[in-house]
A and B are shown apart, each in its own frame.
Chain A
Amino acid sequence: MKRFLYEVTEAWKIAAGQMAANKTRSVLTALGVIIGIVAVTLMGTAINGISAGFDKSMSVIGDDVLYVSQRPWTRMNDWWNYRDRKKIRTEYAEKINHAIAVTPNSNLEVAVPTMSLLRSVKSGDYSVDNVFVLGTTTDYTLISTLDTSEGRFFNEVESRGGAEVCVVGYDVADALFAGRTALDKKILINGHSFRVIGTLSRQGTFLGLFSLDSIVVIPLPAFKKYFSAKSEADVRVKVRDKTHMADARDELTGIMRRLRGLPPEKRDDFNINEQQAFKSTLDGVKATIAIAGLFITGLSLFVGAIGIMNITFVSVKERTKEIGTRKALGARRRTILLQFLIESTALCLVGGLIGLTFAYLMCFGMAAAFPSFPIRFSLGLVIASMIVSVLTGLVSGIAPAWTASRLDPVTALRYE
């Protein structure tokens, strides 16, 4: 082992000398690896970013909330099976809460009704279209990750009484009041006047598709009064302990079947959705993106590796006589093998480090240019790309190094 380390150290010195002696060649060869590592690292960063974005979006749904809905979230190809189902009614929430209260050791905590629609919102000369208008109760704060940055959420009295008050998302506040406070201002939702009592802190986008900040939350009775006609309702139920998700789901299914008056032989005419189901669908998408992306960028690294292999073969050929001399002086097969393996690895490692530096600078630039794009440049990625560089060097060096180590000293010495 000590001997091995000794040989490795010496081989590194030789490799450094070779690179210094053949600067142009080394740079050109390493360029292939540099490009490969930049591509792979950037792809890794993008995948990390997408993944982090997904996770952030998922957390908005909440991992401890069950959604009672008319149709499932994930299966869209048989929508006609769900079209004619009875609507989910907001009154179920109260009944579920009652059931929770009378069930000892219930796995459920609280049910909150929600209704939503897209509407335009105006204030003075400014207006925002397609704002997500959400009608709910004051309990909504118990189940969501929403947070007011200014003012407050509506209280029990306002909630029950259907007061014409609202809490606005960051985008809405920004579009209508641009920098000034939105508190106590009147806004028109589809022509109906509401008073702003709070603004929400910034949430970002959902899967990069739409803004979670383009939202207005109003008390449910007010929502019903003005917008009920076309909207669908959901009941969101918070679970007491998210490690017992399945039990909670069964309990909720039982309550819902009773509320719907379903006899045992009939199938559920509602769906209970949760983050996990959505997440597993998205995880599949994520994995596909990752595999495809890494495969394609991996090809460029592969091309770089071929370049290294080629130059190592050339190097072995050129230095046949040197190999002969080294063998005559007592170099063993392993020593020669190590020498060339480490030369190719050193090239790849240097290429990898340069590539990583470029990738880091590019990420930095991208983060500055597109702040909304989630970029994650992690230590794990650095380590991974270094390992990939070393592996590339070993894989591309093994064939030429093996050839060199097998050379017959007599033949090699005679080579001109």
Chain B
Amino acid sequence: MNSLHVRPPGPLVIDIENITKEYIMGEEVIHALRGVTLQIHRNEYLAIMGPSGSGKSTLMNMLGCLDTPTSGRYEFNGKDVSEMNGDELAEIRNREIGFVFQTFNLLPRSTSLRNVELPLIYAGVRPEEREERAAAALTAVGLADRLAHKPNELSGGQRQRVAIARALVNHPSIILADEPTGNLDSKTGEEIMTLFETLYQEGNTVILVTHEADVARHARRTVFLRDGIVESDETTVTSARETVEV
């Protein structure tokens, strides 16, 4: 049962201290996050859980540098991102974060290869190297024979694999997956979760955002959000397995 082994966490990647986020919806101010403190190390496998309205999506947007907090401190690899502008955040996303979306978000008219090349294009990588690296990433997720296929020629599971290859291709610091199995049947979902396990074992940092306990169960650490604050942050599940293994 080597795959269930907990790998020792590396240096600090994400350091969030007391961040809040407020939205103004018409007359009302919505407090999506009311002071969240969270630290994530390299090579952790973490699930963020919570019911809808718990601030889970908002926290994910923060973690993914898609949005900046209203107050509080957020350091990513030692860099303060809470005050960065749009283009600086784009650069962080490009180099440090691999996104996996529930709806895959592939470009419908582009081939798998072209889809996976996208982050490399925004990183300014030369075309030949781009193609090489994209092909390697697709091979790593088991799609070596699907390079020239367009999304509508692929199954749901294959599409999500393309998306995962796209997330991996820039060797990001974290892989941020938002309900990655939400649009898949349970069997395919399991396959995708196995892939995440492999990625984790290979040394990647994986953050799952989900409301399904079945999905969160794969992670070694679970952060539970409710009403914009961290309700619990525990590594019990993995410790239990570790115990089994030992």
Instruction: Give me the interface of A with B, judged by CB distance under 8 Å.
Output: 3, 6, 10, 17, 21, 321-322, 324-335, 408-410, 413
User: Which residue in B61, B94, B109, B110 is a CB contact (below 8 Å) of A330?
Assistant: B94
- Residue B236 is within 8 A (CB to CB) of chain A in the complex: no
Q: Hey, which chain B residues are within 8 Å of A324, CB to CB? A: 105
Please give, as numbers and ranges, the residues of chain B lying within 8 Å of A333 by CB-CB distance. Answer: 86-87, 90
**CA of A10 to CA of B107 in the docked complex: distance in angstroms?**
15
In the complex, 14 of the A-B residue pairs with CB atoms within 8 angstroms, ordered by the A residue number, are: A3-B124, A326-B118, A327-B66, A327-B90, A328-B105, A329-B94, A329-B99, A330-B93, A330-B123, A331-B90, A409-B66, A409-B67, A410-B61, A410-B67
In the bound complex, residues from chain B placing their C-beta under 8 Å from that of A335 are: 122
Q: Are A330 and B66 in contact (CB under 8 A)?
A: no
Which one of B90, B95, B109, B166 has the highest number of Cβ atoms from chain A below 10 Å of its Cβ? B90
CB of A413 within 8 A of CB of B105, answer yes
Q: Quick one: given A410-B61, A410-B66, are A330 and B122 in contact (CB under 8 Å)?
A: yes
**Which chain A residue has the least Cβ–Cβ distance from B88?**
A332
Q: Shortest 9 CB-CB distances between A and B: which pairs?
A: A330-B94, A330-B122, A325-B105, A332-B87, A329-B119, A332-B90, A409-B66, A21-B109, A410-B66
Q: Which of B51-106 contact A (CB under 8 A)?
A: 61, 64, 66-67, 86-87, 90-91, 93-95, 99, 101, 105
Q: Is the CB of A17 within 8 A of B110?
A: yes
Interface SS, A side: helix
| CB of B121 within 8 Å of the partner chain | yes
Is the beta-carbon distance between A17 and B91 smaller than 8 angstroms?
A: no
* Cross-chain contact A6 with B105 (CB below 8 angstroms): no
Tell whether, in the assembled complex, residue A332 and residue B91 are in contact, meaning their CB atoms are under 8 Å apart.
yes
Q: Which residue of A lies closest to B122 (CB)?
A: A330
How far apart sit A326 and B106, CA to CA, in the bound complex (Å)?
10
Q: Which residues of B contact A322 (CB under 8 A)?
A: 107
B115 to chain A, nearest CB (A): 10
Q: Chain B residues near A332 (CB, 8 Å)?
A: 86-87, 90-91, 122
A329 and B90 CA atoms in complex are apart in Å by 7
**Given known A409-B66, A410-B61, A410-B67, contact A329–B124 (CB-CB < 8 A):** no
A326 to B122, alpha carbons, bound, how many Å?
9
**In the complex, are the beta carbons of B99 and A328 less than 8 A apart?**
yes
- Closest residue of chain B to A330 (Cβ to Cβ) is B94
Return the chain A residue nearest B67 by Cβ.
A410
Given the interface pairs A10-B121, A328-B64, the reply to whether A321 lies near B86 with Cβ below 8 Å is no
How distant is A224 from chain B, measured CB to nearest CB, in Å? 86
B residues less than 8 Å from A327 (CB atoms) = 66, 90, 93
* Min distance, Cβ B162 to any Cβ of chain A, angstroms: 13
B110 near A6 (CB under 8 angstroms)? no
Q: Which residues of B contact A331 (CB under 8 A)?
A: 90, 122
